[in-house]
Amino acid sequence: MNIILLTLSNFKSFNEHSIYSDLLLSFIRNGHEVYCISPAEKRTGVETHFEENGHLLKLKIGNTQKTNIIEKGISTLRIESQFISAVKKYFSDIKFDLVIYSTPPITLANAVQYIKKRDGAKTYLLLKDIFPQNAVDLGMISTTGLKGFIYKYFRNKEKKLYSLSDRIGCMSQANVDYILKHNPEVNPQKVEICPNSIEVRDVRLTEQERLDMRDKYDIPRDKTVFVYGGNLGKPQGVPFIIDCLKAQMTNKEAYFLICGDGTEFLKLQDFFDTEKPSNMKLMKRLPKEDYERMIAACDVGLIFLDHRFTIPNFPSRLLSYMQAGLPVLACTDPNTDVGKVITEGGFGLWCESNDVNMFCKCINEISVDAHKYGEAGFRYLKEHYCSDEGYRIISDLIL
């Protein structure tokens, strides 16, 4: 069967390891013809072209990341028409049996509708974000006043996307519950759990490899290293991260490594420049392979989510920590169930992301038995978050 993925995830090959490329590889291994439209933002200077022998279309779009909100908004609104044009121009002779797409963005509704109507395709939504409510939670838009018109526009787009979807795959039970509670018109029979998943690889390092990586990045050999890797934007609640770091500046046994970039990076940079903490380091995002090895050289992975969220986020960076055999300390709002999954799975701890004192207690507790937590996380990953399981769940719609 012919499968197409519409995504804003930027990758150049199906062999890159990510939640989307690994899922597509599972479809390929099971005999399906897989196609994908993946963006190349204007700032990269990359023009529209094919990769993977004509199966992966890199589509030039406007800038939606690392830019101001006005450019991001305009570019996001144009994506829908750009995807439709790309399907018409580059895939006119291919009849698709299944369309897979993810949020963000929600503005692909018309592109999904076009393929569904043209080919009679089944449609599967991978719900990775709940927009526009996430923007409301962070104060970026509101449900009333002038910004209320923006909210209503995107809310209608969101509802249309749910309506078009034959199945909606949610990252966790909390996501399922949220969608059904706030969208009573959605048939509960088409909403299911389809978690973030990857092709599980053992990227754990030997003790000598760990020491070598720490030396390479000037990370102390004799400290318990807590690492945060990934986006540093408003969803991560950077002011709380800074408060937590301030509270740990005198911790002689721990070392904190923050690696990433995003719209809030400069706030962290200002903290490091001003306070000059001796047991901490701030780094820009690394190439993927270096990043994975650096993560594996650390002891505990950190997750942060802004406490204002009412939607249940489930960060995919959890999987990279688990694959590296790291225990996880998650500091989040109380509405996500990522903390419940971590604690009940026995591979880490959780606290609310407005409680610095509890964060400090968790730091002390998880340091005592980090290895045990990490082993449990790697087992849990293999049992619950393997991309072949994601393939099994989605393919049930067409097989």
Tally of domains in the chain: 2
Same domain, 138 and 91: yes
Which of 154, 172, 194 terminates a domain? The answer is 194
Please tell me whether residues 376 and 256 are part of one structural domain. yes
Q: Which residues contact 263 (CB under 8 A, 6 or more apart)?
A: 66, 232, 233, 234
- Choose among 379, 302, 310: nearest CA to 347: 379
Asked if 256 and 299 sit in the same domain, the reply is yes
Residue 16 falls inside a structural domain? yes
Whole-number pLDDT of residue 62: 81
- On whether residue 269 sits in a domain, the answer given is yes
Asked if residue 161 and residue 101 are part of one domain, the reply reads yes
Q: Is residue 390 part of a domain?
A: no
Q: What is the pLDDT of residue 332?
A: 96
- C-beta of residue 241 within 8 angstroms of C-beta of residue 330: no
Please state, as a whole number, how many other Cβ atoms lie within 10 Å of the Cβ of residue 59.
Answer: 20
Tokens representing 237?
Answer: 């609640």
Q: Are residues 254 and 170 in the same domain?
A: no
Q: Which of 162, 194, 226 is the last residue of a domain?
A: 194
Same domain, 119 and 217: no
Position 328 scores a pLDDT of: 95
CATH number at residue 97: 3.40.50.2000
Is 201 part of a structural domain of the chain? no
Query: Do residues 304 and 264 make contact, with C-beta atoms less than 8 angstroms apart?
Result: no
d(CA 67, CA 338): 29
Same domain, 271 and 129: no
Is 148 found in the same domain as 19? Answer: yes
If asked whether residues 98 and 226 sit together in one domain, one would say no
CA 392 to chain centre: 21
In a domain, residue 188? The reply is yes
Residue 391 domain-assigned (yes or no)? no
The domain in which residue 96 lies consists of 2-194
Three-class secondary structure assignment of the chain: CEEEEECCCCCCCCCCCCHHHHHHHHHHHCCCEEEEEEEEEHHHCCCCEEECCCCEEEEEECCCCCCCHHHHHHHHHHHHHHHHHHHHHHCCCCCCCEEEEEECCCCCHHHHHHHHHHHCCEEEEEECCCCCHHHHHCCCCCCCHHHHHHHHHHHHHHHHHHHHCCEEEECCHHHHHHHHHHCCCCCHHHEEECCCCECCCCCCCCHHHHHHHHHHCCCCCCCEEEEEEEECCHHHCHHHHHHHHHHCCCCCCEEEEEEEECCCHHHHHHHHHHHCCCCEEEECCCCHHHHHHHHHCCCEEEEECCCCCCCCCCCCHHHHHHHCCCCEEEEECCCCCHHHHHHHCCCEEEEECCCHHHHHHHHHHHHHCHHHHHHHHHHHHHHHCEHHHHHHHHHCCCC
Sheet with strand 348-352: strands edge to edge: 280-283, 254-261, 224-231, 300-304, 328-332, 348-352
211 and 188 within one domain = no
The residue among 126, 161, 194 that closes a domain is 194
Residues counted in the chain: 399
Work out whether strand 300-304 and strand 280-283 pair parallel, antiparallel, or are unpaired.
unpaired
Position 202 scores a pLDDT of: 85
Q: How far is CA 244 from CA 23, 234, 282, 285, in A?
A: 36, 16, 14, 21
Query: Does residue 309 sit within a domain?
Result: yes
Q: What are phi and psi of 322, to 5 degrees?
A: -65, -40
Low-confidence stretches of the chain (pLDDT < 70) are: 399
**What tokens appear for 13 in the block?**
């090959």
> Distance (Å, rounded) from C-alpha 215 to C-alpha 297?
10
Q: State the chain's maximal CA–CA distance in angstroms.
A: 64
Do the domain assignments include residue 199? no
Same domain, yes or no, for 9 and 147?
A: yes
pLDDT of the residue at 4: 96
Q: How far is CA 74 from CA 21, 68, 86, 131, 147, in A?
A: 27, 10, 18, 16, 15
Rounded CA separation 10/40 (Å) = 7
Does residue 115 share a domain with residue 140? yes
| Euclidean distance between CA atoms 374 and 224, whole angstroms | 13
